[in-house]
């Protein structure tokens, strides 16, 4: 039933992307870069911001939700009708990677996110000494995920490196899984 409803809604070529991650991972910077906004001064997101990106003829509604520990209990209020979960990881913050893994694991058991794909966006890869894809993959235990279609992609929110490729992945995944045309 959920699949039928999704496909009916997506005839309008519209997607809902939920962008989550720990605070200071770069979620808002990613969204601002995609929108062509200034990324030199970003304040922590308190609550949520909805932005729309037109990408290759599709409308992508991005729900950017704050990642501070006090806000994480409210994340579940934003799960409804999510097509793709963008999980942003700060690749320079090895000290909090276990927290990052636990929060992601908690998300992946949420029933309302079961139909969503997962794109792990490894941010800040332009910083020397950041964690490798393999390190992030191992720490987050991505190979153990069986409930969601997933991929990992490195990027830099500040430079825009690989952000178009991330959006292309989101769109290609949606076309393959959700769209009728």
**Where in the sequence numbering do the catalytic residues fall?**
68
133 is in an annotated binding site: no
- The C-alpha atoms of residue 59 and residue 75 are separated, in whole angstroms, by 23
106 is in an annotated binding site: no
27 is in an annotated binding site: yes
Helix (H, G, I), strand (E, B) or coil at 122: strand
Closest CA to 138 of 122, 161, 123, 126: 122
Element (H, E) at 102: helix 97-108
67 is in an annotated binding site: yes
Closest CA to 15 of 100, 151, 116: 116
Element (H, E) at 54: strand 48-55
124 is in an annotated binding site: yes
39 is in an annotated binding site: no
Binding residues for GTP: 21-28, 67, 123-126
Binding residues for Mg(2+): 28, 45
Binding residues: 21-28, 45, 67, 123-126
């Amino acid at each position: 039933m959920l699949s039928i409803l999704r496909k009916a809604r997506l005839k309008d070529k519209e997607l809902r992307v939920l962008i989550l991650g720990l605070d200071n991972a770069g979620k808002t910077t990613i969204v601002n870069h995609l929108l062509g906004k200034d990324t030199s001064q970003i304040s922590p997101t308190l609550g949520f911001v909805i932005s729309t990106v037109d990408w290759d003829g599709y409308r992508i509604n991005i729900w950017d939700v704050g990642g501070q520990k006090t806000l994480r209990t409210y994340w579940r209020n934003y799960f409804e009708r999510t097509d793709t979960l963008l999980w942003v990881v700060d690749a320079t913050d090895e000290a909090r990677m276990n927290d990052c893994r636990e929060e992601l694991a908690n998300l992946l058991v949420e029933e309302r996110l079961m139909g969503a794909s997962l794109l792990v966006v490894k941010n800040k890869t332009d910083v020397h000494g950041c964690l490798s894809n393999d390190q992030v993959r191992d720490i987050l235990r991505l190979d153990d995920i069986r409930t969601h279609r997933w991929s990992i992609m490195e990027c830099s929110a500040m430079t825009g490196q690989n952000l178009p490729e991330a959006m292309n992945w989101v769109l290609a995944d949606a076309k393959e899984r959700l769209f009728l045309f």
